[in-house]
Amino acid sequence: MKPLFLLFTLAFLVSVDVRILAPVLPSIAVSLGATAGAAGLAMTSYSVAYGSGQLVYGPLSDRYGRIAVVRAAALGFSACCVLSALSVTTWQFVAARLLAGAFAGGLIPLTLVYIGDTYAYAERQVALGRFAIVTSAGLAFSASIGGIVAHLVSWRAMIAGYGLLTLVPVGLMFSLGAGRPPRGAGAGERVVRYMDLLTDPRALLVYVLTFAEGFLCWGSVTYLGAFAQRRHGLDQLQIGLLIALFGVGTMVGGSLMAPFRRRLSENALAGTGGSLMSAAFFVLIPTWSWPAFAASMLMLGLGFVGLHSTLQLRGTEISATARGKAFSLFGFNLFTGVAAGTAVMGRFVDAGLDNTMLAVSGSGLALVGAAAASVRRGRAT
């Protein structure tokens, strides 16, 4: 079986897990006797561990191969999903999600690095668009089917279920080789260090914009389920189906990436994506009926694939000789941003300042898109 198919399958399952809390957060909070903000700390801990793990997985994959590292991480991820489902207190759940995030951090980012290894730059954004379809399908599944399972059975059965399903592609991956990356720096060539990457202006700008995108977008998306419940009085199933439209939007954007790239430059795609994401958050501020929420989710997903795939493309091109290490900083900054954004936006939510949260995200994402649109292509290291 082809490695990319198995990597995409694992990425789908992890993408389900990464965003599963948003539609079922109210149910988890009630089950554990916590507030939405307190339960949201599970997302914060997950994101911190996911992002920090990049600093380990990237260099390990440069040395031992992408497939070998993914296999080990996927086994740990499966076990920790089951632990999450068995949690009976808020802090047990937060701790289990932290461990799950630590292992999940070795799956999606290394798939992106694998794409960077196997596709030329000119073809890579289209491949990243196809990958966005897979991860977006995971998001849509987590929001819709996940909401249905949580509504009809329980959120515990949902998390344990996809954790155990992870073992299927992992088992098939043991028939593959280690998936060693292309030959790195040879004798006489300087080894790329983290400090080299962090002191390069072009690389640093990509990392800063990635942090900001994670903070502003996912920090608020985490609480859109709670927002929809308060604003529109929707139940868990209805919320899940509406948030699934975010994934539908990114799937549409990913499927149209090839024609988009024929008509738009990298920078134009990034700028347009940031503008659409900004507009999506501002649409939620007026007190309109739920169809406006649905339209916002579609717009947010479509804009996200434009901005995020451009940042991913540039992240995979920072260093060819140490692509795993260079992209590990991309993932670290993205999920550090998600963790910080979830913690900060959770304070707004608990204080009843939903519109402030939406305005901050909308304004900030417009600036992120504009900044990304001003960058020229060029390998940093």
Structure confidence at residue 380 (pLDDT): 47
Q: In whole angstroms, what is the distance from residue 247 CA to residue 12 CA? A: 12
pLDDT at 190: 62
- What does the alpha-carbon distance between residue 297 and residue 277 come to, in Å, rounded to a whole number? 9
Of 302, 285, 256, 281, residue with least CA distance to 365:
281
Domain ranges, ordered by start, for the chain: 3-175+192-372
CA–CA distances in Å: residue 374 to residues 257, 361, 362, 369: 20, 20, 19, 9
Cα dihedral 330, 316, 206, 211, rounded to 10, equals -20
* Residue 187, SS3 per DSSP: coil
CA–CA separation, 43 and 345 (whole Å): 12
Question: CB neighbours (10 Å) of residue 100?
Answer: 29
- Provide the pLDDT for residue 186: 45
Going from the C-alpha of 363 to that of each of 121, 188, 224, 277, 356, the distances in angstroms are 31, 47, 17, 10, 11
DSSP string across 272-326: HHHHHHHHHHHHTSS---HHHHHHHHHHHHHHHHHHHHHHHHHHHTS-STTHHHH
Distance between CA atoms of residues 348 and 281, nearest Å: 15
* 207 CB-side CA count, 13 A: 22
Name the DSSP class of 190: P
- 314 Cβ contact list (under 8 Å, min separation 6): 206, 375, 377
Alpha-carbon span 80 to 101, nearest angstrom: 9
Which residues, other chains included, contact 152 with Cβ-Cβ below 8 Å and sequence gap of 6+?
A: none
Q: What is the pLDDT of residue 103?
A: 94
Q: Would you state the pLDDT for residue 311?
A: 93
Handedness of CA 279, 281, 282, 283 (dihedral sign): positive
pTM, entire model: 0.76
Predicted confidence pLDDT, tens digits, the chain (381 residues): 688 889 999 999 988 887 777 667 777 888 887 776 777 778 778 878 887 888 888 888 888 888 889 999 999 999 999 998 898 888 888 899 999 999 998 898 899 888 888 888 778 888 888 888 888 777 667 666 666 776 777 888 888 888 899 999 998 988 876 555 555 544 445 677 888 888 888 889 999 999 999 999 988 888 888 788 888 787 767 777 787 788 888 888 888 888 888 888 888 889 999 999 999 999 999 888 888 899 999 999 999 989 998 998 888 888 877 888 888 889 888 878 887 898 898 888 888 888 999 999 999 999 999 999 987 654 544
Secondary structure element (H or E) that encloses residue 40, with its range: none
Evaluate the CA torsion angle 49, 51, 54, 57 in order and state its sign: positive
CATH dotted code for 3-175+192-372: 1.20.1250.20
Distances (CA, A) of 287 to 225, 233, 240, 283: 16, 13, 20, 9
- Please report the DSSP string for 106-174 in residue order: TTHHHHHHHHHHHS-HHHHHHHHHHHHHHHHHHHHHHHTHHHHHHHHT-HHHHHHHHHHHTHHHHHHHT
